[in-house]
Structure 1
Amino acid sequence: MEYITTNEIIDAIHGELVLQGEKTKHNNICIDTRIIKDEDVFIAIKGENFNANDYALEASKKGASICIIDDMKFKRSEFNKKTSVIKVEDTKKALLMLAKFYINKLNIKVVGITGSTGKTSTKDLVAAVLSAKFKVFKTLGNFNNEIGLPMMIFKLDKSYDVAVLEMGMSDFKEIHNLCEVANPDIAIITNIGMSHIENLKTRENILKAKMEITDFFSENGVLIVNSDNDLLQDITSKYKLIKTGIDAKADYNACNLNILENKIKFNIIDKGNLIETGIEVNIPGRHNILNSMLAVACARVMDMSYKEIAVGFKKLEVTSMRLNIIKGKRFTIINDCYNASPDSMLAAIDVLGNTRGTTKIAIFGTMRELGDSAYDAHKQVGEYAKSKNIDLLITLGEFNDAYKEGFNDIDKYRSFETYNQVVSFLDGIIKQGDVVLVKASRYMKFEGIVNELENLNFCENINNKEVIKK
């Protein structure tokens, strides 16, 4: 984090200095007293089940240079004499305002990424490609909301050329608020699916919410979209618009597709011209060709050559629990349990189909935030699994009946209530060379199933070459 003064912080968050401390150096921004360090700035965020204003005194005693609060819970005399206390109307808003001030101070190029699915994978791909020419920062994990994104911004410094920031949302105005802070120069929309349809009611409303990513564009802003997605094919923008895809008409198209077990290969048609440089990316799935093409377009906007782009893809570091292929002595695990939506379920089934194995097994849980469409969406995933000749479908959660109805093969379907039941069943039937896909929405924590499956044999993660020892 670059140096900022106490007065700059007060001005940025429109705060009131209620206690002047002795410290003038500020190392980092922190919202958790459990990890706070000496000379950190502590921002007391209120949540549904906690109020961090209760911990401001603890932060001071641990050496915080500043405590930013919106509720004074302690006497001034109780604070460490080295700590300044700043009071604001709302600490969540103060966090966003401070992040906005800080990123503007850096004068860094910002790429914002949103979409119903594929945000994190596309973020990883864009960061990898750009890293062939620039020093790139990318959002860690999926710190992509009104708390996580500003905390990522505070990890930036002037040594970076580009920040690639993931932006999530569940309702209107959320991406608007994130973009008011980050003010992206380039915006990418991966697709418009059914995630968060429970709140937004229609896919058209989801598109409107995602388009908020251009709300703070300058006249030089660039919007890049996947035109293979039906709702993004015909969109227009008053800003520069670039379309990518495989099948749809686009500025950049992928061709000569070669979808292998753990990698993808393709060529690029740039405005009608075939590019000789071939692209190879060490992640599976046709959907990741679409994600990769968004990265290609972003790199071209940043004046990168195709040779540089190809080198950049070699630098890919993927976020965990997203189509990680884990090879074991007995069977292979495809760990895609970070989150789930109808589109990402279908993509994962395609990857399972392309993975070499004797028996193809899918373990699926609940997809959340689908509202009235939930039953039909789970049923359609079951139907797709059947159409792709999945040999065994195992489900847990509240939509077992929907999966069962869609899959419509009682001999090849099982449902269970606990992780242990699933693992015990598989341990009894799994054979040498089988493949198991594990996927559900985040709240189901299906990594617990993956961990137990890994315990059944020695596994090697072929996506990032890490060996998992049990």
Structure 2
Amino acid sequence: MRYMKNMTLSNIANACNGKYYGPENKKETCVSGIAIDSRKVGENFLFVPIKGEKVDGHAFIPNVFENKAACTLTEHPLDESANPFILVESCAQALKDLAEYYRSVLDIKVVGIAGSVGKTSTKEMVASVLSQKYSVLKTEGNFNNEIGLPLTIFNITDEHDIAVVEMGISDFGEMHRLAKVAKPDICIITNIGFCHLENLKSREGILKAKSEIFDFLTPDGKIILNGDDDLLSAISEVNGVVPIFFSKQKQEGVYADNIENLGLDGTKCSIHFKESSIDVHIPIPGLFMVDNALTAFAAGKLLGLSDEQIRYGIHAVNSASGRTNLIKTEFITIIDDCYNANPVSMKGAIDVLSHAEGRKIAVLGDMFELGKDEASLHYSVGLHVADKEIDLVICVGKLASNIAKALRDKSSLCEVLEFISKDTMLEQLESLIKAGDTILVKASHAMGFDEIVSKLKTVRA
């Protein structure tokens, strides 16, 4: 059985400012895992019951002891004669405190990735490269917030050399708290876009919030920034640390040239950094993947990889589900990019689609958390689509109607269809598809467009 380093019940209680109740002879029991889902609790686990909007995890405390849990946290006193528990003020805060403590006892490098667009694809690229030399743990799914990041940290074992973690936020202060847990050795910011404007108000506000990642950079830590981003490129140093910049233009840091867009087959380019120079084929479509390759090259060099190891890692990268993931069925090609969306990533996805062969269809939905300019930002996406040779644009949702309006205002040659709801669109979807079509599916995650992708997989055009 695997045990978590130094995670005894006594140390756990101290780390989260809790009070242990239970047999004294069990205080030095070392837990084998930590879970917030009672169904995932195994033998010798610690259960952390989180209060959600609909469900309070405290209701499942009896279940976890049936599964041989070692202990549970709780915000309410339990029967002392039963099983061990640790009383805390807030289980949500305790989760972060425990992850911070566990991170502190681990001999591991952490690469923290922030940014408005491309965190996941960057994470996949960096992890693919670093895994050519090291045992790498990476964020899975959407575990990048104040619950997901601690759970990612808890998955680190003695076998891992490096953790590559996404750090996602929507308001001020969140990144500070995430950085306090992760203590990154390398901080990466991909770009400053237009996400979460409801809370952060402006790109300058977004920069301020994302920059909180530097608050807990380790003493010998490094910073990698996008040199093509106007706000990030203006950062000359952070607490004495001079950033390494990546760019698609020749510059002092890491840069790419000889860029050849291969459409859905990806991109070829040359990457240069100091005395190193390599030619690579990036298998995932989209010119934004060049930025990801540059970032991974910089991280690889900082962590001692050879040029050949980095090249192989770039060639071997796979796309994550819902993020420019190419799915080829017997009849059609699907560009599954439905995990999330903002104006920058939406336009980038349209660019990828524009390079496909045959009939090109874009199924576009609402983008959320864009603040007071949400209508005009959707309209700007429509103007971008109008400049591309897209055959059919299917707009789903109230906000996406602004995309359709822009296409009609600009007298675009593409056919435009509007649907208020996803369900109504799904009823007609199969009749709109022809054999040989390439279909992009993109919207904010809350739109549930993964259901559209599932439907398209069954289409027999």
Q: TM-score range by the shorter chain?
A: over 0.9
Distance (whole Å) between structure 2 residues aligned to residue 397 and residue 280 of structure 1: 37
Count of aligned positions:
450
Deviations 1:226-254 (Å, cap 9, x if unpaired)? 11122112122231310001037450111
Tell me the SS of whatever aligns to 1:34: helix
Q: Could you say which residue in structure 1 is the equivalent of 2:143? A: 143
Find the counterpart in structure 2 of residue 75 from structure 1: 79
Looking at structure 2, the residues matched to 429 and 9 of structure 1 have their Cα atoms a distance apart, in angstroms, of 57
State whether structure 2 residue 211 is matched by structure 1 residue 214. Answer: no
What's the offset of the Cα at 1:88?
Answer: 1.1
Which residue does 1:171 correspond to in 2? 171
Q: CA-to-partner distance for each residue in 1:48-88, whole Å, 9 max, x for gaps?
A: 3332223223322332111111123x4334x3xxx311111
Q: Report how far residue 16 of structure 1 moved.
A: 0.5
1:419-466 deviation digits (Å, cap 9, x = unpaired) = 4543443433433322110000001110111111111139xxxxxxxx
Q: Aligned pair in 2 of structure 1 residues 21, 339: CA closer, same or farther (>3 Å)?
A: farther
- 1:249-306 Cα shifts (integer Å, max 9, x gaps): 45011111122123221101224x671x211222110011112111111111112221
Name the residue aligned to 1:447. Answer: 450
Show the counterpart of 2:403.
403
Q: CA deviation at 1:329?
A: 2.9
Partner letter of residue 223 of structure 1? I
Supply the AA of the counterpart residue of 1:315: A
Residue number in structure 2 paired with 1:108: 108
Q: Deviations over 1:345-368 (max 9, x none)?
A: 011001101122x21110001101
Query: Deviations 1:370-418 (Å, cap 9, x if unpaired)?
Result: 0101001100011101111211111111114311221124871101134
- 1:297-446 to 2 correspondences below 5 Å: 297-356=298-357, 358-408=358-408, 409=411, 412-446=415-449
Cα distance in 1 for residues equivalent to 2:33 and 2:347: 41
- Contact 1:382/1:406 (8 A) holds in 2: yes
8 Å CA contact 2:47, 2:71 repeated in 1 = yes
Match of 2:64 among 39, 59, 68: 59
Aligned AA (1:299): G
Letter in 1 for 2:401: D
Tell me the equivalent position of 1:463. Answer: none
Aligned residue type for 2:88: V
Measured in 1, the distance between the counterparts of 2:24 and 2:178 equals 31
1:31 has 2:39 as partner: no
CA distance in 1: counterparts of 2:9 and 2:450, whole angstroms = 43
| Counterpart contact for 2:397–2:422, Cα < 8 Å | no
Which residue matches 2:124? Answer: 124
Secondary structure of 1:67's counterpart equals: strand
Q: Segments of 4+ in structure 1 off by > 4 A?
A: none
Cα distance in 2, alignment partners of residues 398 and 60 from structure 1: 47
Task: State how far apart, in whole Å, the 2-side matches of 1:404 and 1:198 are.
Answer: 23
Partner of 2:243: helix, strand, or coil?
strand
Deviates more, 1:16-25 or 1:256-265: 16-25
Deviation sequence 1:306-332 (CA, Å, 0-9, x none): 111001123323321111111223321
How far does the alpha carbon of each residue in 1:109-134 deviate from its partner, in whole angstroms, 9 at most, with x for none?
11000000100000000000011111
Higher mean C-alpha deviation, range 391-400 or range 23-32? 23-32
Counterpart residue type for residue 391 of structure 1: D
- How high is the TM-score relative to the length of structure 2? 0.93
Paired position in structure 1 for 2:243: 241
State the alpha-carbon separation in 1 of the partners of residues 10 and 276 from structure 2. Answer: 55
Aligned residues of 1:262 and 1:325 also touching (Cα < 8 A): no
Aligned to 1:155: 155
Give the direction of change, closer, same or farther, for the CA distance of 1:107–1:202 in structure 2 (3 Å limit).
same
Q: Which amino acid aligns with 1:416?
A: F
Q: 1:150 and 1:400, CA in 2 relative to 1: closer, same or farther beyond 3 A?
A: closer
Cα pair 2:376 2:402 within 8 Å, conserved: yes
Distance 1:321 1:400, change over 3 A: closer
Aligned counterparts of 2:244 and 2:15: Cα–Cα separation in 1: 35
The 8 Å contact of residues 326 and 335 in structure 1, kept in 2 or not, is answered as yes
Q: One-letter code of the match for 2:243?
A: L
**What is the rounded CA distance, in whole Å, between the counterparts of 1:429 and 1:49 in structure 2?**
38
Whether the 8 Å CA contact 1:382–1:403 is kept in 2: the answer is: yes
Q: State whether residues 22 and 84 of structure 1, in contact with CA within 8 Å, keep that contact through their aligned partners in structure 2.
A: no
Higher mean C-alpha deviation, range 395-404 or range 158-167 = 395-404
Query: Which deviations, in whole Å up to 9, do the C-alpha atoms of 1:2-47 show, x marking residues without a partner?
Result: 2422211122112111233765242110111122222110112122
1:69 maps to amino acid: T
For 1:270 and 1:332, the matched residues in 2 are separated by: 36
Percentage of matched positions with identical amino acids: 40
Inter-CA distance 248–115: structure 2 relative to 1 (3 Å threshold):
farther
**After the TM superposition, which of the residue ranges 433-442 and 9-18 deviates more from structure 2?**
9-18
CA spacing shift, 1:248–1:404, aligned 2, 3 Å: farther
* Structure 1 Cα separation of the partners of residues 214 and 123 of structure 2: 17
Identify the residue that residue 93 of structure 2 maps to in structure 1.
Answer: 93
Q: Distance in 1 between matches of 2:371 and 2:319?
A: 31
The answer to whether the 8 A contact 1:110-1:185 is kept is: yes
Deviates more, 1:278-287 or 1:410-419: 410-419
Distance 2:300 2:460 in 1: 41
Gaps of 5+ in 1: 459-470
Tell me, in whole angstroms, the C-alpha distance in 2 between the residues paired with 1:186 and 1:429.
Answer: 47
